[in-house]
Structures are given as structure tokens and as C-alpha cells.
Amino acid sequence: MAKYIVDEAKRCLQCKNPACSKGCPVSTPIPDVIKLLLEGEMNKAGKLLFMNNPLSVVCSLVCTHEKQCEGNCILGKKSSPVQVSAIENYISDYRLDVMSLKPEKKLQGNIGIIGSGPAGITIAFILALKGYNVTMFEAHDKIGGILRYGIPEFRLPKEVLDKLKDKLIELGVVIRPNTLIGPVLTVEDLFNDGYDALFVGTGAWKPNKLGIKGESLGNVHFAIDYLKNPEVYNLGNKLCVIGAGNAAMDVARTAIRKGVKQVSIMYRKGMEDMSASQYELDFAKIDGVKFELYKAPIELTPDGVVYAETMKVEEDGVQKLVHVDNSQALFECDSIIVAVSQGPKSNIVSTTTGLNVSNNGLVLADPCGKTTKEGVFASGDVVTGARNVVEAVKHSKQVAECMHEYVSKKYENMQ
């Protein structure tokens, strides 16, 4: 592995105007990192990655690199791009093992972080490194949010998240597990207990429905629920997954690993329209997942999915998808998993006055993460809807700086 990493690093052209960095949502200084690696400065390379992106080790595994850094590598135009993801993972994983973290200095201020997904972890690292007292509230028993409970082990080993937890504790972050803010402890309770600012990063855990008959049947499940704990599900021998995103691929590939003999993905359009990354589609095919395309589910039954065939037509220069007449049929299967994205739950907003949300339940926040309630900030999926990890990191870095400015000014005004 090490030889492969070095060989890949040597392929980097060290472009003066690196397209790979421009293609990265958090502008990772890829040529600089690779240069340090080849000079034997592994720790400096790892520090550069971590300070730019506290979740670098995670992003190296789960980002859509073919659309970002690697997809913009100049070498990819004529041959294969530098495998930035592999290099980043090698350095970041090493750095996570050896780095020792301590705050820059001690600052006044207590920060409460509600939710420990990508956004919450990013905020916690940045503000704890600055020197604030940080307490993280997590509804589950372990931190990670969607990283732990929504991404399969074969894509993101849980050991990585455990290492991140250890580093947070090393920094002095207090983690309170199994604590759901809203029903018992409220946002007002936290402010009354002395928190100067709160960050809401509770993600999107409410599955979206198809809105068709049969979704409450015993053989029908939702992707976000299945991925939390697939061991408790008995899916039988034949499974139909309805959806076209990375979550649908994660469900399908997980089910195969759990012993389901035949797994099919049903989608109303074609392969070229799927939102899943090409990487995930390729691996789903390798794992043996079948694709039932141009089939729109219209009812879920104990025997399987009743669907109508679809086709694309052009009307007045606009391409539309229509059902084919008299094409209804039954796709037989033992179980059905609906994987059509998800939205936020209302545990916090329903118990907090002055915290406004959009029509679809997303918390309203400005580019700095400021919500409509004084002292409450938010970012990640609870603001944007279900997105990828690196986008949550990008926004959360900005929000962390805004929270720092807010709390520091608060104590300046007290003097």
C-alpha cells in the first residue's frame, strides 16, 4: 500500500494553479500536501489536512472524488487522475493515530453542540481548539450521526469515528450520549444552565415517503432506519430497493452482505439519471445488485411492488417522463426498502420558541449559521437537507468562526 501511495504521489504535476484543489469544496491544498509527503514530512502533511478539514480522514473515504478533486486532475484528461483519495486517507489515518491536540489558549465561553454528525464534529474540533468549553449532546449512544448510523462499515469503518471521539475528549470536549434535546431538556434549559451559544446539527433522520398505498405494511422499511441496524431485519431472499441515490446503493450492498440472495434497485428513470455517484453504481454492480429501470412504483403489497413502466417523451421541446399505457405489473419480492432521501425531525423546533423553519421543516439560517433565535446557530443537513459530508464541513467551518465572533464579543461587552 505504501509503495502505491508513493507512486501515486510522484505522478502529481504540482500544478501552479491546481484544478484539483479548486474542485474540492473545502479547497484542500492537495499539491502542498503531496509535496510534504514526498519530502518525508508526514506529520506536517497530516496537520495541513486536518486544520483545513477536521474530517479529512472521513472525506477521503466517502467523498465523490470523481466529481471533485480527482475529477478535476489535469492528468485525468488523457489518462487516469492522481488517486488523491488514497493519498489523503493514508496521511489522514496516520495523523489521527499520532497527533496530540490541545487548545490554543483558554477562552471564556460555553458552547453546546446538539448532534454529533459531520457538522457537529467539525464545529466541536474548531471551537475546542480555540479554547472554548464544549459540550456535545448526542441522541444515540455513540457519536457520528449519519456517519455512524447511515454509512455502512465497508465504506466507513466505525473505528475511524471512535478515533475522532478520542481526539475530541483529548481536547476537553464533554460528550453526553443518549440525550435527545427537545422532549425533556430544551434549548431554553441549556441557555438557563449557562451556555453562551448553541449549535444545532441534528441532521435529517425523518425518511421521506413515496406517498403510495402500502408503506405501512410489515415487509416495507425505510433506508435510514435499515442502515442504523441492519442486523435486526429479516428481509427474506429477495429485496427491492426503491431509490437512485447513494443511500439506495448502501442499502443494496449491505443487504447482499447480510445474506439476501437477490437484491434489485427499482428506479423510474434510466441509469444515466441516477443521483448516486458512478463509484457507488459500479460497486453495486460488482456486488451483484440488479437494476430495474424505467419502472415507477404505484403500490406496495405483501407480494412485492406494483409498478408501471415509464418512458421519456418530448413535448414542446421539453423532455417528460410518462407512464406507459396498460403496463402495470408486479415485481415479486419478500421485502421492500424505500430510499428516497429524508428530512429533519422536529424535536427541537417544536419545543423552541422563535426558531423558524422552512415549509419542509429545515431550520432557517443565514450564511453564518445564525438562526432566527438569538444565540442559536445551525448548519449541515438540518439546514440544507440531505447533502454530502464535505458540504457540511465547508459550511460548518464558516459557522464555527461566526460562533467564535459571537461569543467573544459577548464577553468583550461584559468587561
Report how far apart, in Å, the C-alpha atoms of 85 and of each of 33, 64, 259, 304 are. Answer: 12, 10, 30, 39
38 and 81 within one domain:
yes
Question: What is the predicted pLDDT for the residue at 381?
Answer: 87
Residue 103 belongs to some domain of the structure: no
For residue 228, give its domain range. 209-340
My answer on whether 47 and 133 are in the same domain is no
Is residue 394 situated within a structural domain? yes
Number of domains making up the chain: 3
Q: Is the pTM of this model over 0.75?
A: yes
- 135: domain CATH number is 3.50.50.60
For residue 415, what pLDDT is reported?
64
Whole-angstrom distance, CA of residue 93 vs CA of residue 167:
13
The angle formed by the CA atoms of residues 139, 173 and 182, to the nearest 5 degrees, is 30
Looking at 46, 71, 98, the residue that finishes a domain is 98
Residue 104 lies in a domain: no
Q: Which of 340, 369, 392 is the last residue of a domain?
A: 340
213/336 same-domain check: yes
Task: Answer whether residue 87 is part of any domain.
Answer: yes
Residues 196 and 279 in one domain: no
Q: Which has more pLDDT, 204 or 312?
A: 312
Closest CA to 302 of 231, 215, 234: 215
Q: How many CB atoms within 10 Å of residue 92?
A: 24
Are residues 213 and 330 located together in one domain of the fold?
A: yes
Backbone phi, psi, residue 247, to 5°: -65, -40
pLDDT digits (tens, 9 = 90+) for 165-179: 999 999 999 999 999
Residue (of 218, 220, 277) closest to 253 by Cα position: 277
Between CA 332 and CA 264 the distance in angstroms is: 11
Q: Cβ(150)–Cβ(245) under 8 Å?
A: no
Is the model's pLDDT at 1 over the cut of 70?
A: no
Question: By three-state DSSP, how is residue 376 classified?
Answer: strand
Same domain, 280 and 385: no
Instruction: Indicate the average pLDDT of the chain.
Output: 94
What does the radius of gyration of the chain's CA atoms come to, in whole angstroms?
23
Query: Is 176 inside any structural domain?
Result: yes
The CATH number given to whatever domain includes residue 82 is 1.10.1060.10
Is the domain of 190 the same as that of 230? no
Report the pLDDT value the prediction gives residue 2, as an integer from 0 to 100: 72
Given 318, 340, 362, the domain boundary residue is 340
Same domain, 195 and 219: no
Strands 206-207 and 342-343: antiparallel
In a domain, 122, yes or no: yes
Closest alpha carbon to 136 in 115, 151, 154: 115
pLDDT in tens, 286-314: 999 999 999 999 999 999 999 999 999 98
Give yes or no for residue 413 having a pLDDT over 80: no
Nearest one of 26, 86, 31, 25 to 50, comparing CA atoms:
26
